[in-house]
């Protein structure tokens, strides 16, 4: 009889642990595989570009394009070709009306290039190169469309910027 109780206790404990782990996974999952690639749903406080980079590394994505929308605190930059630097500007508590970008590789590391447009409650819009974004109130949804070829970025002069390479 002791053996039966021991087996029953072990089964109940194992089932409870598995259920607890499943619940933890449900709250931390940030993406799922879909026919085109991956669908990401990021939550408040998530770093948008870091999550995309992490996905590319974990899933060994050779190259991709992505599109997204949601609510963010964003940092855009306008590239000054004279100084070869971005002129940054921050926008907090705004709606990400559109984000488009690409995933490639540069010197063995993920290279993300993204642009976006945000709007405020008066429907004023701003946009530019995305230097960073954190999910604000709500969420950000991103569809990552994966390509079968590995693409690289390389510094080119002119323009003095990283350019996506299409050579085979």
Domain ranges of the chain: 29-149
Taking the CB of residue 23, how many other CB atoms lie within 10 A of it? 10
What pLDDT, in 10s, does the model give residues 116-128? 999 999 999 999 9
Q: State CA 132 to chain mean position distance.
A: 11
CA–CA gap between residue 127 and residue 63 (Å, rounded)? 24
Measured between alpha carbons, how far is 144 from 123 in angstroms, rounded to an integer?
27
Q: Enter the CATH code of domain 29-149.
A: 3.30.1330.80
| Site of tokens 């949804």 | 141
* Under-70 pLDDT residues of the chain: 1-27, 168
Chain centroid to Cα 28, Å, comes to 14
Residues whose CB is less than 8 angstroms from the CB of residue 83 and which lie 6 or more positions away in sequence, other chains included: none
pTM of the predicted model, to two decimals? Answer: 0.81
Nearest to 97 by CA among 133, 62, 63: 133
Cite the beta strand spans of the chain per DSSP E.
31-34, 37-43, 63-80, 85-106, 109-119, 125-147, 152-156, 161-165
For 98-113, write each residue's pLDDT tens digit: 999 999 999 999 999 9
Q: What is the pLDDT of residue 11?
A: 37
């Amino acid at each position: 009889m002791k053996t039966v109780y021991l087996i029953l206790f072990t089964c109940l404990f194992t089932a409870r642990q598995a259920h607890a782990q499943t619940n933890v996974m449900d709250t931390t999952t940030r993406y799922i595989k879909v026919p085109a690639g991956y669908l990401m749903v990021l939550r408040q406080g998530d770093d948008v570009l870091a999550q995309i980079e992490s996905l590319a590394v974990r899933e060994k994505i050779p190259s991709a394009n992505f599109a997204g929308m949601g609510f963010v605190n964003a940092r855009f930059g306008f590239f000054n070709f004279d100084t070869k630097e971005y002129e940054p500007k921050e926008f907090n508590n705004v709606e990400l009306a559109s984000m488009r970008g690409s995933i490639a590789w540069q010197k063995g590391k993920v290279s993300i290039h993204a642009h976006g447009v945000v709007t405020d409650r008066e429907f004023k819009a701003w946009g530019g190169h995305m230097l960073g974004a954190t999910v604000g109130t709500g969420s950000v949804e991103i569809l990552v469309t994966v390509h079968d070829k590995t693409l690289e970025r390389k510094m080119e002069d002119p323009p003095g910027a990283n350019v996506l390479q299409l050579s085979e």
